[in-house]
Structure 1
Amino acid sequence: MSEYPELYLMIDGERLSGADRRTHDVLNPATGETIGKLPLASSADLDRALEAAARGFARWRKSTPQERANVLNGAARLMRERTEDIARIAVLEQGKTLAEARIEVGMNIGLFEFYAGEVFRIYGRTLVRPEGMRSTVVHEPVGPVAAFAPWNFPIGNPGRKLGAPVAAGCSVIMKAAEETPASALAVLQCLYDAGLPTDVAQAVFGVPDEVSRHLLASPVIRKLSFTGSTVVGRQLAKLAAEDFKRTTMELGGHGPVLVFADADIERVLDIAVPQKFRNGGQVCVSPTRFLVEAPVYEAFREGFASRAAALRIGPGLAPESQMGPLANPRRVEAIDALIHEAVDAGARLHTGGERLGNQGFFYQPTVLSDVPQTARIMNEEPFGPVALLNRFESEEAMIAEANRLPYGLAAYAWTSNASRQKRLSAAIEAGMVGINTPMIGGADSPFGGVKWSGHGHEDGPEGIMACLVTKAVHEG
Structure 2
Amino acid sequence: MRQYQQFIGGVWRDGTGPGETDVLSPASGQVVGRIRHAGIQDLADASAAAALGFAQWSRISPLDRSRVLRRAADGLRTRMEEIADLVMTEQGKPLSEARTEVAACADVIDWFAEEGRRTYGRVIPGRHPDQHLEVRQVPIGPVAAFTPWNFPLSQAVRKIAPALAAGCSIILKPSEEAPGACVVLVDVLVEAGLPGDVLSLVLGDPASISRTLIADPVVRKVSFTGSVPVGKHIAALAGAAMKPCTMELGGHAAVIVAADADPVAAARALLPMKFRNAGQACIAPTRFLIHQSLYDAFVAALLDGAAALNLPPLINPRRAAAVSALVDEALDRGARLLLGGGPPERCRYPATFLADVPADATILREEPFGPVATLQRIDSDEEALEIANALPFGLATYLFTDDARRQAYFADRVDCGMLSINAAPIALPETPFGGVRDSGFGREGGMEGLAPYLSPKLVTVHHHRGRRTA
Same fold (TM over 0.5): yes
Q: CA deviation at 1:51?
A: 0.6
| Paired position in structure 2 for 1:446 | 432
Provide closer, same or farther for how the CA distance between residues 18 and 197 of structure 1 changes in structure 2, counting only shifts above 3 A: closer
1:295 aligns to what SS in structure 2? coil
| Paired position in structure 2 for 1:128 | 125
- The code of the aligned residue for 2:209 comes to V
| Paired position in structure 1 for 2:21 | 24
The equivalent position to 1:350 in structure 2, one of 333, 338, 342, is 338
- The code of the aligned residue for 1:36 comes to G
- Where in structure 2 are the equivalents of 1:373-452 lying within 5 Å? 373-452=359-438
| Paired position in structure 2 for 1:69 | 66
| Paired position in structure 2 for 1:319 | none
Q: CA deviation at 1:18?
A: 6.4
- The code of the aligned residue for 1:215 comes to L
| Paired position in structure 2 for 1:243 | 241
Q: Does 1:340 align with 2:328?
A: yes
* Contact 1:11/1:203 (8 A) holds in 2: yes
* Contact 2:6/2:15 (8 A) holds in 1: no
Separation in 2 of the partners of 1:197 and 1:113? 19
* Contact 1:308/1:367 (8 A) holds in 2: no
| Paired position in structure 1 for 2:252 | 254
The equivalent position to 2:160 in structure 1, one of 159, 162, 165, is 162
The equivalent position to 2:88 in structure 1, one of 88, 91, 95, is 91
Separation in 1 of the partners of 2:19 and 2:400? 50
Q: CA deviation at 1:356?
A: 5.5
The equivalent position to 2:31 in structure 1, one of 25, 29, 34, is 34
| Paired position in structure 1 for 2:441 | 455
Q: CA deviation at 1:431?
A: 0.4
| Paired position in structure 2 for 1:329 | 317
1:155 aligns to what SS in structure 2? helix
Q: Does 1:11 align with 2:5?
A: no
- The code of the aligned residue for 2:60 comes to S
The equivalent position to 2:453 in structure 1, one of 452, 457, 467, is 467
Deviations 1:242-299 (A, max 9, x none): 1210110001100000001211111111110111010000000001100000011122
Separation in 2 of the partners of 1:120 and 1:273? 39
Provide closer, same or farther for how the CA distance between residues 22 and 126 of structure 1 changes in structure 2, counting only shifts above 3 A: same
Provide closer, same or farther for how the CA distance between residues 218 and 20 of structure 1 changes in structure 2, counting only shifts above 3 A: closer
| Paired position in structure 1 for 2:466 | none
Q: 390-399 or 265-274: which moved more? A: 265-274
Q: CA deviation at 1:49?
A: 0.5
Q: CA deviation at 1:440?
A: 1.1
Q: 298-307 or 438-447: which moved more? A: 298-307
Deviations 1:400-453 (A, max 9, x none): 000000100000100121110111111101100001114112100011100110
* Contact 1:175/1:203 (8 A) holds in 2: yes
Provide closer, same or farther for how the CA distance between residues 281 and 26 of structure 1 changes in structure 2, counting only shifts above 3 A: same
* Contact 1:253/1:285 (8 A) holds in 2: yes
Q: CA deviation at 1:454?
A: 0.5
Q: Does 1:206 align with 2:204?
A: yes
* Contact 2:43/2:202 (8 A) holds in 1: yes
- The code of the aligned residue for 1:213 comes to R
Q: CA deviation at 1:20?
A: 6.4
- The code of the aligned residue for 2:351 comes to P
- The code of the aligned residue for 1:328 comes to N
Q: Sequence identity of aligned pairs in percent? A: 44
Q: CA deviation at 1:5?
A: 3.9
The equivalent position to 1:179 in structure 2, one of 177, 180, 186, is 177
- Say what the alpha-carbon RMSD is for the aligned residues: 1.2
2:300 aligns to what SS in structure 1? helix
| Paired position in structure 2 for 1:151 | 149
* Contact 1:272/1:438 (8 A) holds in 2: no
**Where in structure 1 are there 5+ consecutive unaligned residues?**
313-322
* Contact 1:355/1:362 (8 A) holds in 2: no
2:289 aligns to what SS in structure 1? strand
Separation in 2 of the partners of 1:264 and 1:346? 30
Structure 1's consecutive aligned runs of 4 or more residues displaced over 4 angstroms after TM superposition are 18-21
Separation in 2 of the partners of 1:20 and 1:465? 35
* Contact 1:127/1:135 (8 A) holds in 2: yes
Provide closer, same or farther for how the CA distance between residues 19 and 230 of structure 1 changes in structure 2, counting only shifts above 3 A: closer
1:362 aligns to what SS in structure 2? coil
Separation in 1 of the partners of 2:344 and 2:219? 44
| Paired position in structure 2 for 1:317 | none
**Where in structure 2 are there 5+ consecutive unaligned residues?**
463-470
Separation in 2 of the partners of 1:424 and 1:295? 19
Q: 461-470 or 400-409: which moved more? A: 461-470
